[in-house]
Structure 1
Amino acid sequence: MIVIGNKIGERYEIIGNIGNGGMANVYLALDLILNREVAIKVLRFDFQDDQDAIRRFQREALAATEMVHPNIVSVYDVGEENGMQYIVMEYVKGTDLKKYIRDNSPIPLLTVVDLMEQILSAISVAHQHQIIHRDLKPQNILVDQDGTAKITDFGIAIALSETSITQTNTLLGSVHYLSPEQARGGMATRQSDIYALGIILYELLTGSVPFEGESAVSIALKHFQNDMPSVRRFNPEIPQALENVVLHATAKEVADRYQSIDEMYADLRTVLDPARANEPVFEPTVMTDETIRLTPINEEDYQPETVQAAVKQPDFDDDDDDDYEEKKPRKKWKKFVAIGIFLVLAVAGSLFALGMRKGDAVIPDIKGKTVEEATLVLNEKKIKVNGTEEIADDTIEKGKVVKTSPPIGTKVKSKSGIKIYVSSGEKSISMKDYTDEEVTDAKDDLLSKGFKDENIEMVKQNSDSVAENRVIKQTPKSGRKVVPEETKVTLIVSKGAKAFRLENMYGYSRNRAMSYLDSVNLVYREGSSEYNNNVPAGQVIYTIPSGGSEVAKGAEVTVVLSAGKDPSTLPSSSSSSSSTPSEETSETTTSSESPDDSTQHSKTQDNKNDGESRK
């Protein structure tokens, strides 16, 4: 058992408990070498004797260390101690997306799009590393105090997805985000992640999940039987283009969904553009009106009472909203019930799939052809073109077909329509981090990458921490995928600390001047002292800049101190002896007066007669 004060790997000291999940427990720890807080995920004790789980856990955890991205929780270390498997990760101060939605709904559309772009950017990197998350849900997405989203739980979800049939109920723990093919007992694919992301986007827009039910099975059935509710019913202000992203990502058939995360990202990026204001509602193309469906399967038609009782007590992740507080003792017969549930879902899915006739036309390979050439080829196959869309592609020449939706090779009904994606010839790149760079260097780099000068905006802002003319922050954030020619960039540039009026320090002592300048974060610089008949030695005559001038924190102020009266202006000894007390009094009174800044540099010059000079 891990308790506060324990050390793991002789390096990480446990200082708190972050959370307990169905697969692992997470602790807050202090890295004693780097002196930083980290999160340590420890594989639960009941999985530590399962060699398959351990092997996959280690392999996926190591793979996660390769996924360096600002929107993925960083993995620092992986290890084992006394049979305990653990992963050391970045500690994110903030909350999970589930609680963020609860606390902030309704969320402004700009914020929704921004969060989803961050999430898609992270999952794109995972898919490039051949890693499918399989358990995407708001509880596995963290949001820090700056509004940056970070994906977590890559390794655990994949490592435990193939352990044993008794884990079926655990997989149903995230049933609200489960794709139809997973609900039917099928294999998880990249499109399964895309489906889950569509549900997350739905929840960001509405504050709730699309399907609810009394049991995990009833919710799973709704995923492949019920139409996705319209987000515009909750908020008519949501543009149709944004709702279409939800509908496209959550299409029942895999072939109707986005074929990649990058495709979904490209579509989401422009949903708030006025040019897409009158976009029609997304319609799937694989399942046409001619498709034959079986009568929907009802939960009560096949689920015996004992199965219902078992399904109401699944072993959900502790951080899921679908948790069940009670847990009954396990019995041997429950293993058979779990197998029964799995088989029932698999059979239901098979019947659903068999209820659809295969299309009688295959989408031909039109990649690399012009739209006109592709249209002619498709017309020969009696396949209509429902529309075209430009996407960035590094390999296909501008104006030529990159892909289709449904994909090339898919069987569709004759006279059904497909969408063609045409290369825009533009290359998308990851946005660089320009923070703390000189603004001229940042702009030159942007222009060299193909960003247009008119699309680069610089906004000046005071900053006490960032030097003048250096970048404080930027939009888009670093790591985002952007097309330079189309992207508008805003650089927030420091104009230094906020200016204030310098106090008039005439007559101040040296110590008082230093104390004042230190209190307002100004740098004391002492100039050469000067004779002054009006200011006693050691006191301030004037400053550069002068009192009343505008200065900013960190600026230097040169202070000129009095060296006392000018010896050349003092009377001779005989003259001094004839001085009257009234004259001395008058001189003392004069020296206490504060002259204007314009007279601070003047020095008194006494005329001496020739007689005094000869003495």
Structure 2
Amino acid sequence: MNKQPSHASEFLWSTPDAFEETKIAAPGTNLELETGAAAGLYGAAEVGNNVQSVWDIASSPEMGAGEDIVVGQKFSIYRCDALLGQGGMGKVYLAYHTELARPCALKITSPGKLTRGDDLKVRTAEEARSAAALIHPNIVTVHALGEARGRQYIEMELVAGGSLKHLLRREGPLPTLQALRWMSAIASGMDYAHRQGILHRDIKPENILICGRGVPKLADFGLAHRIGRGEYIPRGFVCGTLPYLAPEVIQTGDHSTATDVYALGVSLYYLLTGRLPFYADSLEDFTQQILTAPCPEVRELRPEIPLNVAGLVSRLMAREASNRPSSGTEAWHLLNSVLGQLRDVQSILDEALGYDPTVSWIRCGEKYCVRVQRPDGRQQRVFIESSEHRSDEQLLLIYSVCCPAESSFYETALRMNAEFSHGGLAIREVDGAPHFVMVDTYPRGTVDSEELRKSVHEIAEHADQVEKWLTGEDRN
């Protein structure tokens, strides 16, 4: 077990942005690049020299040794088109896979790094394989690991968008619902990694990328670690970025699923307020604040934030690990629970259908009736209402009545249902009589507006097809 560093100099750190960029890592354990450069694939002009890795200090005498990659050159089967970012261990390029004819992000170690010994090479390969095993819509995909010209490289999915940190620097704190939706998606990716036995160990806004469709992706598994696998870390060295380290990591050096949850909580705090919960002028003071100081509540900085959101942040950042969600699964459920409480159906419909000229809707008690104009001149009503599930499983129920469920229709209805790619045909009591109904559901807290819009149109289309095929009428 590692001990708490006895002196600030035992931490390696470098930062133009004070401790916000502080990288703490054990030398020789990974292909780590500073995550702002490695993960934020937003172009070299924005990256610049804003961030230094711990390796810029630990390895600076070797910088520039050997042949460097020139933009426009071919490296193995890749053409390096632009430099996206760099750290002491290597660089990340916007590259082009010449055999598969596709763009990618290519992380390449600096010259001479493989001469440090096989340990770095083995660990780099292990970490790349760990990340490559994580196939999830909210995790940046690793495509390949290789070696060329005496250097290792990792080919990654190219996410043509900026990091959340850069977004906040441009636009300031995020709207509450947007911050919660994105953190819920990242919690889903984190949960998937945890269930595969992998800890990220460096979750922060710099390592969360937003792709062109607005989907957040967790990037840079350079410090990732397989749960249960032994690891030697020299005394006084801790993996991670200081402001996002849970107190128990600072004290013992040990990471767990609960420490990833803590980092998720600090990230949410940052997205909501535009600042970190703790700040100090020295490393020792900073660590003491994390260990002992009360965390300023988000409502002190943004009073309009709902109480349940403030409570959510406090739970994710609880100083005692036993008071936090213990895993990505629990964190995801907690985030969705709060999202479900915040998002009312009216605002969801406004967002999804407000600019669709083919629909209109009215509120009918606790549900909404959406009238969809079909391309062939027919119409179909779609109903949307909240389910009666627990708060952490609140669903939007989307359904449309087709026609009476007469026994003579059963066989035909079943055959039609097998052909539908979206929604399902069910029998439901309507005005005291059984009817065929097309049904779909989405989590209320995280449903995307485009998903809801498509669902409304597809449910309307399928319900109308059933009604027309079975009855030839257009009553619903």
Q: If the TM-score is normalised by the length of the shorter chain, which range does it land in?
A: 0.5 to 0.7
1:491 is aligned to 2:455: yes
Give secondary structure in 2 for the equivalent of 1:91. coil
Give secondary structure in 2 for the equivalent of 1:154. coil
1:43 is aligned to 2:16: no
- The corresponding residue for 1:182 is 249
Give secondary structure in 1 for the equivalent of 2:121. helix
Give secondary structure in 2 for the equivalent of 1:30. strand
Greater fraction helix: 2
Residues 110/454 of structure 1: CA separation in 2 closer, same or farther (3 Å cut) = farther
Alignment partner of 1:18 out of 84, 91, 96 = 84
C-alpha contact 1:24 1:44 (8 A) present in aligned 2: yes
1:4 is aligned to 2:71: yes
Alignment partner of 1:441 out of 395, 420, 433 = 420
Measured after TM superposition, the shift of residue 158 of structure 1 is: 4.0
1:141 is aligned to 2:120: no
C-alpha contact 1:42 1:86 (8 A) present in aligned 2: yes
C-alpha contact 1:70 1:150 (8 A) present in aligned 2: yes
Give secondary structure in 2 for the equivalent of 1:270. helix
Q: Distance in 2 between matches of 1:455 and 1:157?
A: 37
Measured after TM superposition, the shift of residue 188 of structure 1 is: 0.7
| One-letter code aligned to 2:100 | L
Structure 1: state its 5+ residue gaps: 278-388, 393-423, 428-437, 458-473, 479-487, 495-615
Measured after TM superposition, the shift of residue 192 of structure 1 is: 0.8
Q: Distance in 1 between matches of 2:425 and 2:332?
A: 22
Measured after TM superposition, the shift of residue 258 of structure 1 is: 0.3
Q: Distance in 1 between matches of 2:137 and 2:196?
A: 16
Q: How does 1:34-433 map to 2 (within 5 A)?
A: 34-45=100-111, 47-48=113-114, 49-158=116-225, 165=234, 168=237, 171=239, 174-274=241-341
Q: Distance in 1 between matches of 2:201 and 2:88?
A: 15
- The corresponding residue for 1:609 is none
Q: Distance in 1 between matches of 2:118 and 2:334?
A: 42
- The corresponding residue for 2:448 is 475
Give secondary structure in 1 for the equivalent of 2:213. coil
| One-letter code aligned to 1:183 | I
Q: Distance in 2 between matches of 1:244 and 1:262?
A: 18
Bigger Cα Rg: 1
Give secondary structure in 1 for the equivalent of 2:252. coil
Q: Distance in 2 between matches of 1:275 and 1:185?
A: 38
Instruction: Give CA-to-partner distance per residue, 1:510-538, whole Å, 9 cap, x none.
Output: xxxxxxxxxxxxxxxxxxxxxxxxxxxxx
> Which protein has greater RCO, CA pairs closer than 8 Å, 6+ apart?
2
- The corresponding residue for 1:384 is none
Measured after TM superposition, the shift of residue 265 of structure 1 is: 1.1
| One-letter code aligned to 1:37 | P
Give secondary structure in 1 for the equivalent of 2:162. strand
Measured after TM superposition, the shift of residue 6 of structure 1 is: 2.6
Measured after TM superposition, the shift of residue 21 of structure 1 is: 2.7
Q: Distance in 2 between matches of 1:493 and 1:275?
A: 25
Alignment partner of 2:94 out of 24, 28, 39 = 28
Q: Distance in 2 between matches of 1:489 and 1:222?
A: 47
C-alpha contact 2:426 2:439 (8 A) present in aligned 1: no
Structure 2: state its 5+ residue gaps: 1-67, 345-388, 396-416, 428-436, 459-476
Residues 246/50 of structure 1: CA separation in 2 closer, same or farther (3 Å cut) = farther
| One-letter code aligned to 2:243 | H
Give secondary structure in 1 for the equivalent of 2:199. coil
Q: Distance in 2 between matches of 1:186 and 1:166?
A: 9
Measured after TM superposition, the shift of residue 441 of structure 1 is: 2.5
CA RMSD across the alignment: 3.6
- Alignment TM-score, normalising by the size of structure 1: 0.46
C-alpha contact 2:237 2:253 (8 A) present in aligned 1: no
Q: Distance in 2 between matches of 1:167 and 1:31?
A: 41
Residues 31/2 of structure 1: CA separation in 2 closer, same or farther (3 Å cut) = same
Residues 447/68 of structure 1: CA separation in 2 closer, same or farther (3 Å cut) = farther
- The corresponding residue for 2:351 is none
Instruction: Give CA-to-partner distance per residue, 1:10-41, whole Å, 9 cap, x none.
Output: x1111110101354421111111221110011
Q: Distance in 2 between matches of 1:217 and 1:137?
A: 21
Measured after TM superposition, the shift of residue 106 of structure 1 is: 2.9
Q: Distance in 2 between matches of 1:476 and 1:167?
A: 48
Q: Distance in 2 between matches of 1:166 and 1:190?
A: 22
| One-letter code aligned to 2:324 | R
| One-letter code aligned to 2:318 | A
- The corresponding residue for 1:546 is none
Q: Distance in 1 between matches of 2:260 and 2:152?
A: 26
Residues 476/129 of structure 1: CA separation in 2 closer, same or farther (3 Å cut) = farther
Between 1:23-32 and 1:267-276, the stretch displaced more is: 267-276
Instruction: Give CA-to-partner distance per residue, 1:519-564, whole Å, 9 cap, x none.
Output: xxxxxxxxxxxxxxxxxxxxxxxxxxxxxxxxxxxxxxxxxxxxxx
Give secondary structure in 1 for the equivalent of 2:186. helix
C-alpha contact 2:201 2:223 (8 A) present in aligned 1: no
| One-letter code aligned to 1:444 | G
Residues 476/127 of structure 1: CA separation in 2 closer, same or farther (3 Å cut) = farther
Q: Distance in 2 between matches of 1:453 and 1:269?
A: 26
Give secondary structure in 2 for the equivalent of 1:2. coil
Residues 33/446 of structure 1: CA separation in 2 closer, same or farther (3 Å cut) = farther
| One-letter code aligned to 2:168 | I
Give secondary structure in 2 for the equivalent of 1:491. helix
Residues 224/446 of structure 1: CA separation in 2 closer, same or farther (3 Å cut) = farther
C-alpha contact 1:112 1:205 (8 A) present in aligned 2: yes
Q: Distance in 2 between matches of 1:446 and 1:198?
A: 41
Instruction: Give CA-to-partner distance per residue, 1:278-320, whole Å, 9 cap, x none.
Output: xxxxxxxxxxxxxxxxxxxxxxxxxxxxxxxxxxxxxxxxxxx
- The corresponding residue for 1:328 is none
Residues 100/445 of structure 1: CA separation in 2 closer, same or farther (3 Å cut) = farther
Q: Distance in 1 between matches of 2:341 and 2:198?
A: 36
C-alpha contact 1:455 1:489 (8 A) present in aligned 2: no
- Alignment TM-score, normalising by the size of structure 2: 0.58
Q: Distance in 2 between matches of 1:86 and 1:24?
A: 9
Residues 249/489 of structure 1: CA separation in 2 closer, same or farther (3 Å cut) = farther
Q: Distance in 1 between matches of 2:112 and 2:391?
A: 48
| One-letter code aligned to 1:137 | K
Residues 273/237 of structure 1: CA separation in 2 closer, same or farther (3 Å cut) = farther
Residues 447/219 of structure 1: CA separation in 2 closer, same or farther (3 Å cut) = farther
Give secondary structure in 2 for the equivalent of 1:259. coil
| One-letter code aligned to 2:95 | A
